[in-house]
Amino acid sequence: MSTHYTIIGNWKMYFSYKQAMQWANQHLESLEELAQSTQNTIALCPSFESLEPLSSSFKNISIGLGAQDCSDHALGAYTGQVAAQSLAEIGCSHCIIGHSEKRQFGHEGNDQIAQKMIQLIKSGITPIVCIGESKEEFDQGKTLSVLEKQLAPIGKALQEQAQPATSLFIAYEPIWSIGTGITPENTYLEEIFTHIQKLTSSYPNQHSIRLLYGGSVTSQTSVTLKKVGLIEGFLIGKASTDFQELKKIVLLL
Ligand code: PGA
């Protein structure tokens, strides 16, 4: 089991701007205490509009700040998009890309997600690349081939475009587990994570690749999930919006 976990809170669009500010104001001191009392790394990913003010709030505490998406382009004529460069300028340390909700509702493809990763690396932001199969693909036994397809452009982009050494998270999130309260069996996860590790082992070795699990992680499920040796952290949706629950997860790991 890992001795140091990374806990990423994906707030999705659960909070309005005012609600996110209220949450942060209410829990700022406790968050600082939590960050100080653990070896684990914590980063929170609110909606775009809350990033800059939260960056100021988190300035003096050891909590990372992440966006939930970025453009696959550098600055230019791309209406409605947000550049990785801007995210870096306002203090983001992390950025989620390829989340299944973006793949589904934003019709994102694997090549585009790989280009988002490149933009993030160029801007010095740690990418959190989400991958995972649907229920139908799971039922048809297609998980490994789906993950291979999702990861192929990631590996290719890292091989072809020389990049500075980076930290990169791959978050395996089976879509059928997100928000459902259902988590996979550990034996299943062992097999999947071993395969992901094998696929990523060919990436240029200056990069540090760490594997996260996401999907219905709570203070109850995390205790079982952490027994999967290759899991080095969690991408947490709903449970990360409840401070007491987040605290329990961090302290139990
Ligand atoms: P969940 O979401 O923890 O609410 O299942 C995880 C995610 O979508 O990243």
Q: Using one digit for the tens of pLDDT, what is the confidence trace for 48-95?
A: 999 999 999 998 899 999 999 999 999 999 999 999 999 999 999 999
Torsion of CA 111, 113, 116, 121, to 10 degrees: -90
Average pLDDT over residues 136-146: 97
As a 3-state breakdown, the chain gives helix, strand, coil percent values, each rounded to 5, of 45, 15, 40
Q: Does residue 162 carry a pLDDT above 90?
A: no
Whether 105 has a pLDDT exceeding 80, the answer reads yes
Does residue 116 surpass a pLDDT of 90?
yes
Pocket test for ligand 1, best of 68, 103, 131, 217 (most atoms within 8 A of CB): 217
Is the model's pLDDT at 139 over the cut of 90?
yes
Atom of ligand 1 at shortest distance to CA of 96?
9
- Ligand 1 centre distance from Cα of residue 70 (Å): 19
Name all residues whose Cβ lies below 6 A of ligand 1.
10, 173, 178-179, 214-217, 235-239
Q: Is the separation of the CB atoms in 44 and 54 below 8 Å?
A: yes
Q: Of the given ranges (100-109, 226-235, 243-252), which has the lowest mean pLDDT?
A: 100-109
Q: Pull the structure tokens for residue 89.
A: 């300028």
Cross-strand pairs, 8: 43, 235
- Counting atoms of ligand 1 from 1, which one is nearest the CA of 238? 4
163 has a pLDDT exceeding 80:
no
- Which amino acid, residue 245? E
The residue whose C-alpha atom lies closest to atom 1 belonging to ligand 1 is: 237
What atom in ligand 1 is closest to the CA of residue 217?
3
Question: What is the average pLDDT score of the chain?
Answer: 96
User: Considering only CA atoms, which residue is closest to atom 9 of ligand 1?
Assistant: 237
The helix (run of H) or strand (run of E) holding residue 18 is helix 17-36
The residues assigned a catalytic role are 99, 173
Instruction: Compute, in angstroms, the gap from residue 220 CA to the centroid of ligand 1.
Output: 15
C-beta separation of 112 from 157 below 8 A: no
Kindly state the helix (H) or strand (E) to which residue 7 belongs, with its residue range: strand 6-10
8 A C-beta contact, residue 249 and residue 239: yes
- CA 103 to centroid of ligand 1, rounded, Å: 14
Give the global pTM: 0.97
Report yes or no: 186 and 225 within 8 Å, Cβ to Cβ.
yes
Tell me the average pLDDT across 230-246: 98
Alpha carbon of 105 to ligand 1 centroid (Å): 16
Nearest CA to ligand 1 atom 2: 237
* Distance in angstroms (rounded) separating the CA atoms of residues 235 and 214: 5
CA 161–ligand 1 middle distance (angstroms): 31
